[in-house]
Structure 1
Amino acid sequence: MKEKWLLKNKKTEFQKLSNELNEGKLTLRLLSNRGIDSKEAASLFLYGDINDMHDSYLLKDLEKGVEILKDAIKNQKRIVIYGDYDCDGVCSTATLYKGLKKLGANFTYHIPNRESEGYGMNKERIRILKEEGAEIILTCDNGISAFEEVELAKELGLTVVLTDHHDIPIVDENGVKTKKMPKADAVINPKREDCKYPFKSLCGAGVSFKLIQALYKEFGIQGEEIELLECVGIATVCDVVDLLDENRIIVKKALELINNTKNLGLKELIKIKNLNDKEINEYHFGFVIGPCINATGRLEIADISVELLITENEDRAKKLAKKLNDLNITRQDLTIESIEKVTEKVEKELKDGDKVIVVYERTIHESIAGIVAGRIRERYNLPTIVLTKGKDMPKGSGRSIEEYNMFEELSKCKNLMEKFGGHPMAAGLSLKEENIVRLRKELNMNCELTEEDIIPKTHLDTALSVEYLDFEIIEELERMRPFGKGNGMPSFGAKNINVKRVIFMGKEKNFLRFKISMKNGKTIDGVNFTKFYDFKEAYENAFGEEEFLKLQDIGYCDFNMDIIYYPEINEFNNEKTIQLGIKSFRF
């Protein structure tokens, strides 16, 4: 697929930092490219630790929430933690669970079933909880849009404390759009306009942690809340919030904790994923541990993951870890199968000129529609909505590209949908089957994307010749970790690198290892695990199909290409060498 490479160049920020900081030029360039333009922000980014976290009490309504829960704990009132079924919701629930247990509270938890209850608070469940003796509902990672549900809870005599991190809903009242919140007894959300908390990008588990931190202080417990950051860090990475400011501190501490974890469930999960002899980093949070926690809520009930995180029984931890791993393998198989089905449909149904993909495949498990939409979006670089057969009607998820505000575009077609919600890059929706074709047609008629817009764009930080690489540079780059949203892995460009051999690896021979000859006479390896077909297409366009077949057969070659890469350490037989993680290439 054609791709545009764009060089970041924030000259003003770079110059300002150069005048204020005694750091290497590479570090200064990377910091400025991430919008960091002051000595204070740079110091927090590079050296921030637990002591630099913000005061919990700056959160609006936190004091109210603390007083309600403090009274409930002292008087043994029944508290119900009301969580969510994704990784953030599970980790938020576990964080509150551990905190309230340490404080001797009378409590239980509930996580809704994805299929029968749906996301967030549910009216029928609230009635059941009341009948079961609940006196206080404490939400985590949900509640900020539960207007009717909170109203019902209040009518039933329940006290409601909301902790959430999602955007404050905008409601239309008599033609006037305003931000509005449910009338709970306390609404703790850093995104409130009247909230003075200086960092707005906490995940749900981060907000839960802040509440427990304040409660511990009220009960004279100092410092023990830090152990809770292990779960909070996993949620922070998996919920794809900005890894800047306080989130960066949280994840760094979480990685420190998990590499010496005392959590029985996580220990067993680490073993079953063969990570016990490796240093766990943010990649493992996002792509190994997190997906296992997520799989339970997708295919069964998320309580299984909560129980893994809170269990104090070794045998139970082993059984739960196996269950999570098995469910995730099932989820992976379902995902691969579903992607193949949807790709086949897209190839048949996508019309010339269509720039929005809307595909209905009734056999897809609704819990993975979003994952499938994301993969299809990546393949075609077009906004994609994948619909499947829901309980009452088709429902699904959409994933977008930067140039297309999916929420706004769906809003223009709201008359065709029974329900929808989301933000510019992702959305969820449900609609009657007879409206699917009309939705596809209207989205494409309204679409203003140009051919230029749909060209994939790769941003690189700076040019960096591979001849300059050494272990000191890599050590300097490692200070930028953890990588994630808001602090992506740095990307470097190198022109006309000379390739002497291509080795096709893996079971399907679709992993690439390049043997690269440098100007200083030495060689360096470059690897890529995701772009075999892109490489095949580019090579055939440059040299012909026959030459590619020859390359696959003998491997030896002599050609030049430009690359975008990140340098990394490869350790084999106790020997460390530098290799290039190649992200993109062109001839």
Structure 2
Amino acid sequence: MDAVARRLARAAAKREKVLVVGDSDCDGVCGTLIMTRFLTRCGANARPYIPARQDEGYGIQPSHVRRAVDNEFDLIVTVDNGISAFQAAETARALGIDLVVTDHHEPQGKLPDVPIVDPKLPGSVCYREYSGTGIAYLTCWAVARILGVPAPEEYLDLVALATVVDVCPLTGENFSLARRGLLQMRANLRPGLQALLNGGKGLPITGRTLSWILGPLINSAGRYGNPLLAYRLLSARTVEEAEPLARELKRINAERKNMVEAVSKECLARCDGSAFPLIASPDWPEGVIGIAAGRLVEAVLRPAAVGVICGKIVRFSARSIGEFNLTAALEECQSRTKALKAFGGHKLAAGFSIDYANLHLVRDTLNDIARSQLQPEDRARWIEIDARLEAVPTPAEVERLDFLEPHGNENPEPTFYVHDRAVNVRSGAGWFLVRLNSGLKFFTSQPVEAGERIHTAISLAVDVYDGHKEIIGHAVDVRTFLCARDSLMRQYMLWRRGKDISEWAERIFSELGLERTGFNAKTSLFLSPTFLRFGAVRSGQDL
């Protein structure tokens, strides 16, 4: 940090021309805006450059360095990329231009020979899980201390947005930064975000708002359009300036949704049941393959990669499940095959590129790794239950849950278990509004019939209508049947003693190959399809 911050401070003090090269997703765009605006405020002549992935690939390339030299830049700083920019670093050194890297991705064994800020560097003892924007923000903070200028706290809203949308763990320092940024956003919503939220009046700004509404819209620019569109939107000074940009982003996002649906359906149709499906086509836009990979993982419950074939190169986006570590799997694949041209990412999301000629080799190797490492419990659709609701809480009690916002990765919304009878059900296009016997109401996308006694996992919110506050729930899952592990173990002991047990318990024991008498070898409940569907509930209490 010291070396990078001092070089940036010198650039600002000497009013040097600085090229800020960011990634094209929400994290990269937010970090690029912070770095560019802050260095400009400090005196540098900073210009943003965000390569379009579909045209230029991921991260800084030698061509970007040569272009910076041709345009007489003095310094290049990366945001949310660069930890694997070996060729770009060599080109910069050869052409005599300084390059510094700010990134948050895992190193690939070796490092570019340039000053680097990355919490995942070998030997680093700081908090590891910052977003790329978080690293850019902290780097600017260090520059501010050197120059003796005000810290860049006006950009905390962008740090919160990027941290949540990039699915970084909302723990420790990340939660502190994201919480402060969320409160800043609520107090003074950036014009570009107002335009995306149609003014934002009356809409609560929560982690769900960031991850489900704002994030996809901003990401659509880089995945299926021009990432500078998102940069211009977030840097807009007025809502009037932002509105046409927001309309264009919404149009692009609608196209992206249609393309994602088409690609996801084709991937599922081509899935062959392997432990780690790799599916690629020359006809898909690169900007949607990550979402399609996520959809495929949800459908087949195993790690998967979806790729786009670009001539002799295939670029993949991969997603994982459970405890299967993608980056570790890619490192092992590279160790065995030496076939990965580039790779990087996180435990549950990563990207890699290969020569098309090596596709079968890499596919077979990753399948072998997955077969040897995947555990039955990795396929469980866990529902984390925080508490059982015995009565409808008051609005004041639910409002206090806001101190836990923003919710996201490793800081999920509190989930409450309710077992009650549905007395009234209203429905619309893809939704059901259920009123329980207790009076609690909740929305769900799963069909529910009045009169059913149901098990429900819900999050809670306060709905304000005409000045009246009402508790409203949003279902995480609804089941007419639930088999908790502790209850199942009691059923097993009764069954072994010859007692009658429930039909569902017998079905599970049959699926596991257990015998009512004699010796039963130790097995895993997760080998039972019935238990995977109805029993994957984790809780500190027996529900």
Interval containing the TM-score (normalised by the shorter chain): 0.7 to 0.9
Q: How does 1:155-194 map to 2 (within 5 A)?
A: 155-170=94-109, 180-184=110-114, 186-194=115-123
Partner of 1:218: 146
The answer to whether 1:488 aligns with 2:418 is no
Q: What is the alpha-carbon distance in structure 2 between the residues aligned to residue 162 and residue 232 of structure 1?
A: 18
Q: How does 1:113-512 map to 2 (within 5 A)?
A: 113-170=52-109, 180-184=110-114, 186-197=115-126, 199-223=127-151, 225-261=152-188, 263-271=190-198, 275-312=200-237, 315-346=240-271, 350-351=272-273, 354-414=274-334, 415=337, 417-422=339-344, 423-433=346-356, 435-436=358-359, 439-446=362-369, 447-448=371-372, 452-467=376-391, 469-495=393-419, 497-506=420-429, 510-512=430-432
Deviation at 1:93, TM superposition (A): 0.6
Partner of 2:443: 527
Contact residue 165 and residue 210 of structure 2 kept, 8 A:
yes
Task: State the one-letter code of the partner of 1:421.
Answer: F
1:575 to 468, 473, 478: 468
Q: What is the alpha-carbon distance in structure 2 between the residues aligned to residue 168 and residue 441 of structure 1?
A: 25
Q: What is the alpha-carbon distance in structure 2 between the residues aligned to residue 401 and residue 152 of structure 1?
A: 38
Q: Calculate the aligned-residue CA RMSD, in Å.
A: 2.6
Q: What is the alpha-carbon distance in structure 2 between the residues aligned to residue 97 and residue 241 of structure 1?
A: 23
Q: What is the alpha-carbon distance in structure 1 between the residues aligned to residue 59 and residue 460 of structure 2?
A: 43
Deviation at 1:86, TM superposition (A): 1.0
Q: What is the alpha-carbon distance in structure 1 between the residues aligned to residue 359 and residue 145 of structure 2?
A: 53
Q: What is the alpha-carbon distance in structure 2 between the residues aligned to residue 499 and residue 269 of structure 1?
A: 36
Deviation at 1:81, TM superposition (A): 1.0
Deviation at 1:413, TM superposition (A): 4.4
152 and 441 in structure 1: CA distance in 2 versus 1, 3 angstrom threshold: closer
Q: What is the alpha-carbon distance in structure 2 between the residues aligned to residue 266 and residue 514 of structure 1?
A: 32
Contact residue 358 and residue 384 of structure 1 kept, 8 A:
yes
Contact residue 277 and residue 303 of structure 2 kept, 8 A:
yes
Partner of 1:11: none
Task: State the one-letter code of the partner of 2:349.
Answer: A
Helix, strand or coil at the partner of 1:479: helix
Runs of at least 5 residues in structure 1 that lack an aligned partner in the other structure: 1-61, 171-179, 536-550
Task: State the one-letter code of the partner of 2:211.
Answer: G
165 and 129 in structure 1: CA distance in 2 versus 1, 3 angstrom threshold: same
The answer to whether 1:77 aligns with 2:16 is yes
558 and 295 in structure 1: CA distance in 2 versus 1, 3 angstrom threshold: same
Partner of 1:25: none
Moved more, 444-453 or 110-119: 444-453
Contact residue 463 and residue 494 of structure 1 kept, 8 A:
no
Contact residue 299 and residue 327 of structure 1 kept, 8 A:
yes
456 and 572 in structure 1: CA distance in 2 versus 1, 3 angstrom threshold: farther
Deviation at 1:372, TM superposition (A): 0.7
| CA-to-aligned-CA distance 1:310-338 (integer Å, 9 cap, x gap) | 24466543332222222222212221222
Moved more, 248-257 or 420-429: 420-429
Runs of at least 5 residues in structure 2 that lack an aligned partner in the other structure: 482-543
Q: What is the alpha-carbon distance in structure 2 between the residues aligned to residue 74 and residue 437 of structure 1?
A: 53
Paired residue total: 476
449 and 457 in structure 1: CA distance in 2 versus 1, 3 angstrom threshold: farther
Q: What is the alpha-carbon distance in structure 2 between the residues aligned to residue 295 and residue 474 of structure 1?
A: 33
Deviation at 1:96, TM superposition (A): 0.9
Deviation at 1:366, TM superposition (A): 1.5
Deviation at 1:361, TM superposition (A): 4.0
Deviation at 1:129, TM superposition (A): 0.9
Moved more, 576-585 or 227-236: 576-585
Deviation at 1:235, TM superposition (A): 0.9
Contact residue 392 and residue 440 of structure 2 kept, 8 A:
no
Task: State the one-letter code of the partner of 2:130.
Answer: L
Q: What is the alpha-carbon distance in structure 1 between the residues aligned to residue 8 and residue 373 of structure 2?
A: 50
The answer to whether 1:564 aligns with 2:457 is yes
264 and 405 in structure 1: CA distance in 2 versus 1, 3 angstrom threshold: closer
Contact residue 157 and residue 181 of structure 2 kept, 8 A:
yes
Partner of 1:41: none
Q: What is the alpha-carbon distance in structure 2 between the residues aligned to residue 215 and residue 356 of structure 1?
A: 44
Percent of aligned positions with the same letter in both sequences?
A: 25
Contact residue 366 and residue 388 of structure 1 kept, 8 A:
yes
68 and 372 in structure 1: CA distance in 2 versus 1, 3 angstrom threshold: same
412 and 477 in structure 1: CA distance in 2 versus 1, 3 angstrom threshold: same
| CA-to-aligned-CA distance 1:505-533 (integer Å, 9 cap, x gap) | 22xxx322222113xxxx2222213xx3x
Helix, strand or coil at the partner of 1:483: coil
Helix, strand or coil at the partner of 2:73: coil
Helix, strand or coil at the partner of 2:318: strand
Deviation at 1:131, TM superposition (A): 1.4
80 and 577 in structure 1: CA distance in 2 versus 1, 3 angstrom threshold: same
Contact residue 399 and residue 461 of structure 2 kept, 8 A:
no
Contact residue 98 and residue 310 of structure 1 kept, 8 A:
no
Q: What is the alpha-carbon distance in structure 2 between the residues aligned to residue 318 and residue 307 of structure 1?
A: 11
564 and 265 in structure 1: CA distance in 2 versus 1, 3 angstrom threshold: closer
196 and 132 in structure 1: CA distance in 2 versus 1, 3 angstrom threshold: same
Partner of 2:532: none
| CA-to-aligned-CA distance 1:403-440 (integer Å, 9 cap, x gap) | 42334444554438443523432232334556545554
Task: State the one-letter code of the partner of 1:494.
Answer: V
Moved more, 459-468 or 136-145: 459-468
Q: What is the alpha-carbon distance in structure 1 between the residues aligned to residue 281 and residue 269 of structure 2?
A: 11
Contact residue 441 and residue 473 of structure 2 kept, 8 A:
yes
| CA-to-aligned-CA distance 1:228-272 (integer Å, 9 cap, x gap) | 11212111111111112222222222222223436433333333x
| CA-to-aligned-CA distance 1:473-495 (integer Å, 9 cap, x gap) | 31332222211112111222234
Helix, strand or coil at the partner of 1:286: helix
Deviation at 1:194, TM superposition (A): 4.2
